[in-house]
Chains A and B, each alone.
Chain A
Amino acid sequence: MISIRGLEKTFPSDRGLVRAVNKIDLDVAENEFVVLLGPSGCGKTTTLRCVAGLEQPDGGTIEIAGELVNSVESGDFVPPEGRNIGMVFQSYAVWPHLNVYQNVALPLTDGRLRLPKSQVQERVMESLRLVQLDNLDTRPVTDLSGGQQQRVALARAIVTKPMVLLMDEPLSNLDARLREEMRLELKKIATSAGVTSLYVTHDQAEALSLGDKICVMNEGEIQQVGTPEDVYSKPSEYFVAEFVGEMNFVRGKVTGPSQVDSPLGLRSLELPPSCQVGGDVTLAIRPQHLDLTQNPDQASQFPEGTILSKTYLGDAVLFEVDVSGVVLVVKLPGESKLIIGQRATVVLPADHWHIYP
Chain B
Amino acid sequence: MLALVGIVAVFVWVSFQTGVIGTDDAEYSFENYLVIFGDPFVYEVLENTLIFALATTAVSLFIGLPIAWVTERTTIRPKELIYAMMTTGLLVPPIFIGMGWTFIAHQRIGLVNKLIKEIFGQESWVINIETPAGMGLIEGLTLAPLAFVLSVQVFRTMNPALEEAAQTAGMTFRRTLLRITLPLARPAILAALIYIFVIGLATFDIPAVIGLSSNIYVFSTFVFSEAFPPDGLPEYGIPAALGTAMILVAVVLTIWYVQMLRRSERYQVVTGKGYRAKQINSGRWVYACWAFICIYFFIGLLLPILLVAFMAFMPYITPPSIKALDLLTLINFQQMNWEYVFRGLKNTVILMAVVPPVILLFAFCCSWLVVRSRTRARYLLEFGAFLPHTVPRVVMSVGALLLALYVVQNYVPIYGTVWILVAVYVIVWLPFGTRALNSSMIQIHKELEEAAYTSGLTVARTIRRVMVPLLRPTMFSVWIWTGLLVYREMTVAVFLISQDNVTLPAIVWGRWTMGAPTVAAAITVLMLVAFLPLLVISWRFARRSRLTAEM
Could you tell me which A residues sit within 8 Å of B by CB distance? 52-54, 79-83, 85-87, 89-91, 93-97, 106-107, 110-113, 153, 156-157, 160, 166
A202 to chain B, nearest CB (A): 17
Q: List, in ascending order, chain A residues with CB within 8 A of B271's CB.
A: none
A333 to chain B, nearest CB (A): 42
Q: Is B456 an interface residue (CB 8 A)?
A: yes
Binds A, one of B233-241, B282-290, B462-470: B462-470
Q: Would B458 and A156 count as touching, CB distance under 8 A?
A: no
Q: Would A54 and B457 count as touching, CB distance under 8 A?
A: no
22 CB contacts below 8 A, A to B, read: A52-B453, A53-B454, A80-B450, A81-B454, A81-B457, A86-B455, A87-B450, A87-B455, A91-B445, A91-B447, A93-B447, A95-B470, A96-B448, A97-B469, A97-B472, A106-B465, A110-B455, A110-B461, A111-B455, A111-B457, A112-B456, A160-B455
Could you tell me which B residues sit within 8 Å of A by CB distance? 445, 447-448, 450-459, 461, 465-466, 469-470, 472
A107-B456, A107-B457, A111-B457 known; A87 vs B451 contact (CB < 8 Å): yes
Q: Would A54 and B466 count as touching, CB distance under 8 A?
A: no
The docked-state distance in angstroms from the alpha carbon of A157 to that of B455 is: 7
Q: List, in ascending order, chain A residues with CB within 8 A of B456's CB.
A: 81-82, 107, 110-113, 160
> Given B445, B447, B457, B472, which contacts A106 in the complex, CB threshold below 8 Å?
B457
Q: List, in ascending order, chain B residues with CB within 8 A of A94's CB.
A: 451
Q: Would A79 and B455 count as touching, CB distance under 8 A?
A: no
The chain A residue with its CB closest to the CB of B471 is A97
B39 to chain A, nearest CB (A): 51
Q: List, in ascending order, chain B residues with CB within 8 A of A90's CB.
A: 447
The docked-state distance in angstroms from the alpha carbon of A81 to that of B457 is: 5
The docked-state distance in angstroms from the alpha carbon of A166 to that of B458 is: 19
Beyond contacts A91-B445, A106-B452: 5 other A-B pairs, Cβ-Cβ < 8 A, are A81-B454, A86-B454, A93-B448, A95-B451, A95-B466
A94 to chain B, nearest CB (A): 8
Q: List, in ascending order, chain A residues with CB within 8 A of B454's CB.
A: 52-54, 80-81, 83, 85-87, 157, 166
The docked-state distance in angstroms from the alpha carbon of A306 to that of B395 is: 83
Count of CB-CB pairs between chains A and B under 8 Å: 76
The docked-state distance in angstroms from the alpha carbon of A79 to that of B450 is: 11
Q: List, in ascending order, chain B residues with CB within 8 A of A96's CB.
A: 448, 470
The docked-state distance in angstroms from the alpha carbon of A91 to that of B444 is: 11
The docked-state distance in angstroms from the alpha carbon of A52 to that of B449 is: 13
The docked-state distance in angstroms from the alpha carbon of A134 to that of B447 is: 25
A93 to chain B, nearest CB (A): 4
A93-B445, A97-B469, A97-B470 known; A110 vs B451 contact (CB < 8 Å): no
The docked-state distance in angstroms from the alpha carbon of A93 to that of B457 is: 15
Q: Would A95 and B457 count as touching, CB distance under 8 A?
A: no
* Most-contacted residue by chain A among B457, B459, B461 (CB, 10 A): B457
Q: Identify the 7 closest CB pairs spanning chains A and B, nearest first.
A: A111-B456, A107-B455, A87-B454, A112-B456, A93-B447, A80-B453, A93-B451
> Given A83, A86, A87, A95, which contacts B448 in the complex, CB threshold below 8 Å?
A95
Q: List, in ascending order, chain B residues with CB within 8 A of A80's CB.
A: 450, 453-454
Q: List, in ascending order, chain A residues with CB within 8 A of B445's CB.
A: 91, 93
Q: List, in ascending order, chain B residues with CB within 8 A of A95's CB.
A: 448, 451-452, 466, 469-470
Q: Would B470 and A110 count as touching, CB distance under 8 A?
A: no
B210 to chain A, nearest CB (A): 48
A335 to chain B, nearest CB (A): 43
The docked-state distance in angstroms from the alpha carbon of A106 to that of B450 is: 14
Q: List, in ascending order, chain B residues with CB within 8 A of A52's CB.
A: 450, 453-454
Q: Would A110 and B465 count as touching, CB distance under 8 A?
A: yes
Q: List, in ascending order, chain B residues with CB within 8 A of A112's CB.
A: 456
> Given B450, B457, B461, which contacts A89 in the complex, CB threshold below 8 Å?
B450
The docked-state distance in angstroms from the alpha carbon of A113 to that of B458 is: 12
Q: List, in ascending order, chain A residues with CB within 8 A of B457's CB.
A: 81, 106-107, 110-111
> Given A53, A113, A153, A160, which contacts B453 in the complex, CB threshold below 8 Å?
A53
The docked-state distance in angstroms from the alpha carbon of A93 to that of B465 is: 14
The docked-state distance in angstroms from the alpha carbon of A89 to that of B453 is: 12
Q: List, in ascending order, chain B residues with CB within 8 A of A156's CB.
A: 451, 455
B121 to chain A, nearest CB (A): 68
Q: List, in ascending order, chain B residues with CB within 8 A of A82's CB.
A: 456
A47 to chain B, nearest CB (A): 15
Q: Would A54 and B450 count as touching, CB distance under 8 A?
A: yes
A193 to chain B, nearest CB (A): 16
Q: List, in ascending order, chain A residues with CB within 8 A of B453's CB.
A: 52-54, 79-81
The docked-state distance in angstroms from the alpha carbon of A90 to that of B456 is: 19
The chain A residue with its CB closest to the CB of B462 is A81
The chain A residue with its CB closest to the CB of B470 is A97
The docked-state distance in angstroms from the alpha carbon of A269 to that of B151 is: 72
A152 to chain B, nearest CB (A): 11
A43 to chain B, nearest CB (A): 18
Q: List, in ascending order, chain A residues with CB within 8 A of B465's CB.
A: 106, 110
Q: List, in ascending order, chain A residues with CB within 8 A of B458's CB.
A: 81
